[in-house]
Each structure stands twice: as C-alpha cells, then as structure tokens.
Amino acid sequence: MTKNTLNIYEVLEALNNKININTTLIEDNTKQLEDKINQLEDKINQLENQLSESKVYLLDEIDTKSSSNLDFLYKETEKLKNEKQDEFKIYVKNLTNNKIIEIKDLQTLEFQKHTKVYIDKLQQHLISNEFLKLRTDISKDLTKLKTDVSKDLDSIVESVKNIKVF
C-alpha cells in the first residue's frame, strides 16, 4: 500500500469517524428534539386542559351573568309594563271622565234646546189661548157694551122723547 493509499484510508477513516460523530450528534439532537417536542405536546395538552377549564368556568360565569341579567331585565320589563298599565288606566279614566262630562254637557244642551223649544211652543200656545180668550172676552165685552150703549141710547132717546112730550 502506498503512501497515498494510506492517506486516503486515513482520510476515509477520519471522515467515517466524523460521520459517526455527526450521526451520533444528529441522533442525540433528534432525541433531544423529540423530548422537547414531547414536552411541548405535554404543555399544549396542559394548556388545552387549562383552556377547557377556563372555557367551562367562563361559560358558567356567562350563564350565571346572563341569567341574572335576564332576571333583571324581566323584573324591569314587568315594572315598566305595570307603570305603563297604570298610566294607561289613568289615561282611560281621564278620557272616560272627559267623555262623560262632554256627554252630560251635550245632553244638558240638548235638553235645554228641547226644553226651550217646548217652552217656546207652550208660551205660543198659552199666548195664543190667552189671546183667544182675551179676544173672546173683548168680543163679549164689546157686545155687552154695545148692548148696554144701545140700551142707554134707547133709554136716552126715550127720555128725550119723554122730555119732548112734556
């Protein structure tokens, strides 16, 4: 074997040693990386568990808060509903009272109108009756007066005749 051949064997052996060392280092690094990956997977699982627990806690809190808010809103809605019902009752009562007053006023006006018409007709009738009665009385009085005047005139004429005769 020649010197060059020896050198090549030595270089090859040195390269083989370096490859073996690098392979060992790669294997060690791979093992370390796998360990770190496993650790990271464990941490991810822990975080997922913690996140799940947090989610459950938050969901419970949200449920509790939403229930209390719903209860509060229901109470407020009922309170508002009762207030509006009371306001509406007062409005209806006032409206009803105002309408009753308007109706009474209208009835009073209608009654007064009919009463006035009735009274006017009654007055006309009474006046007409009185006028007729008065006319009749005047006519009787005039007839009586005429008769009386006629008698008086006759009596005066008789008297004058009697005076002439005397």
Write the pLDDT tens digit of every residue in 68-109: 888 899 999 999 999 999 999 999 999 999 999 988 888 888
pLDDT of residue 165: 61
pLDDT of residue 128: 85
Tell me the pLDDT band of 135, cut-offs 50, 70 and 90.
confident
pLDDT of residue 133: 85
DSSP string, 84-96: HHHHHHHHHHHHH
pTM: 0.40
- Per the document, the length of the chain is 166
Rounded to an integer, the average pLDDT of 43-68 is 84
Instruction: Fill in the amino acid letter for 110.
Output: E
Between vectors from CA 69 to CA 63 and to CA 71, what angle results, nearest 5°?
100
Tell me the pLDDT band of 3, cut-offs 50, 70 and 90.
low
Res. 110: pLDDT tops 80: yes
The Cα 47–Cα 55 span in angstroms is 12
Res. 31: pLDDT tops 60: yes
